[in-house]
Amino acid sequence: MSPIQKTNAIRFLETLSLPFELKETLVEGSMTAEDMARALNLPPEMVYKTLLLRGDKTGLLEAMVPAGTEIDLKALAALSGNKKVAMTPLKELFPLTGYVRGGCSPLAGKHKYPVFILDELILLEKVLFNAGKRGLFILMDPQDLIKATGAVLGPIGVPSQGPTSE
């Protein structure tokens, strides 16, 4: 693989002086978080995906859940102060975040959105999430991710009912 190019998410963490490691893997086609966990030989509960949603009252927000988990829309709505939340259409992802599908990071996007993370995160020693580029990931202490994002934790996930395309 070629030398890793720094992304905005990596630069942001460097400004905060928070420790992290980078992990990289080749991405073939439309790989899911579950595929990424397998490719990196990590347990799925450690590999978090970042999703962009829109609340009916608060507007855009980001939610993070691990591979093998889907967003519980009702729980996320309640936690975020909305009556309803819905996934943002894929065509809006890049204009709103500056990130492409499969490369969305909760850090240093085009705009700062509130971040909500499944509360099981605090049970982990390390969490892996996207660094702002497909196939490039940040591995760090969950408490440092919470500090960097200002995230609110809550019971916002349910087990997936099968393969996801998120």
Q: Which residue has the higher pLDDT, 28 or 80?
A: 80
Nearest to 148 by CA among 7, 13, 43, 57: 13
C-beta separation of 157 from 67 below 8 A: no
Quote the CA–CA distance of 101 and 95 in Å, as a whole number.
12
What is the per-residue pLDDT across 34-64, written as a single tens digit (0 to 9) for each?
A: 989 998 999 999 999 999 999 999 999 999 9
Instruction: Give how far Cα 121 sits from Cα of 4, 28, 64, 126, Å.
Output: 27, 27, 9, 9
Whether 164 is in a domain gets the answer: no
Share of the chain above pLDDT 90, in %: 84
| Residue 140 pLDDT > 80 | yes
**Residue 164, pLDDT score:** 46
**Residue 63, pLDDT score:** 98
Q: CATH code at 66?
A: 3.90.960.10
Give the total number of structural domains in the chain: 1
**Residue 166, pLDDT score:** 44
Quote the CA–CA distance of 95 and 11 in Å, as a whole number.
21
What is the per-residue pLDDT across 151-161, written as a single tens digit (0 to 9) for each?
A: 999 999 999 98
Residue with tokens 């966990």: 37
- Indicate the average pLDDT of the chain: 93
Whether 165 is in a domain gets the answer: no
C-beta separation of 121 from 35 below 8 A: no
- Domain holding 88, by residue range, is 8-158
Whether 54 is in a domain gets the answer: yes
The whole-model pTM stands at: 0.93
| Residue 165 pLDDT > 80 | no
Nearest to 129 by CA among 39, 26, 36, 19: 36
CB neighbourhood size of 69 (10 A):
23
- Give the pair of three-digit tokens for residue 76: 């996320």
Whether 163 is in a domain gets the answer: no
**Residue 32, pLDDT score:** 87
Q: How confident is the model at residue 162 (pLDDT cuts 50, 70, 90)?
A: low
